[in-house]
Structure 1
Amino acid sequence: MDYHYPIDSSWSTEETIIVVEFLALVEKAYQGSVSRAELLNQYRAFKEIIPSKSEEKTIGKEFEQASGYSLYHTVKKARNGVSEQITMP
């Protein structure tokens, strides 16, 4: 990993951990596979911290520019998928 996760300095330590754990799952989906249920549960926790769609898009864009991994496409695949594991191309 040669990049940094997009972090807001106004988040508490607990909030930062939740966001980082979610982004790490997105990363893991691209590097192998991740549990669909775990990803969706972590996304729900992420949305409690980032309820705004525009802020979610901003974080997703920053993360994708830094890593090449799409938050949007990963969550979309998890929501629409039926398999227990999510693997991104």
Structure 2
Amino acid sequence: MNYSYPLNPDWTKDEIVTVVKYFEMIERAYEKGVGAEALKDSYRAFKNIVPSIGEEKQLGREFEAASGYSPYQVMKLVKHATTSTIKMQP
């Protein structure tokens, strides 16, 4: 990984850890696969910190620009998932 996560300097250390864990789950969905429920839990924790849809979209765009991984596409797949594991296709 040669990129940094989009973070808000106003967040507490715990909030930063929660947001980073969410982005790590997105990475894992592309690289290895991740449990759907674990990803949903991580997203709910992320939304407690970033309740604004606009800020969520902005952070998602920044993360995708840096990593090539789309949080939007992962969460779209989770929403319609019929399996317990989420693995994005290349």
Cα offsets for 1:55-89 (capped at 9, x unmatched): 00000000000000000010110111010000012
Alignment of 1:29-48 (within 5 A): 29-48=29-48
Contact kept, 8 Å, 1:22 with 1:39, in 2: the verdict is yes
RMSD between aligned alpha carbons? 0.5
The residue type paired with residue 39 of structure 1 is L
Over the matched positions of the two proteins, sequence identity in percent amounts to 42
Normalised by the length of structure 2, the TM-score is 0.97
**What's the CA shift for 1:47?**
0.3
The residue type paired with residue 37 of structure 2 is A
Does 2:14 correspond to 1:5? no
Cα offsets for 1:24-82 (capped at 9, x unmatched): 00000100100000000100000000000000000000000000000001011011101
Partner of 1:81: 81
Contact kept, 8 Å, 1:26 with 1:74, in 2: the verdict is yes
The residue type paired with residue 5 of structure 1 is Y
The residue type paired with residue 4 of structure 1 is S
Normalised by the length of structure 1, the TM-score is 0.98
Partner of 2:52: 52
Partner of 2:18: 18
How many residue pairs get aligned? The number is 89
Q: What is the rounded CA distance, in whole Å, between the counterparts of 1:32 and 1:12 in structure 2?
A: 29
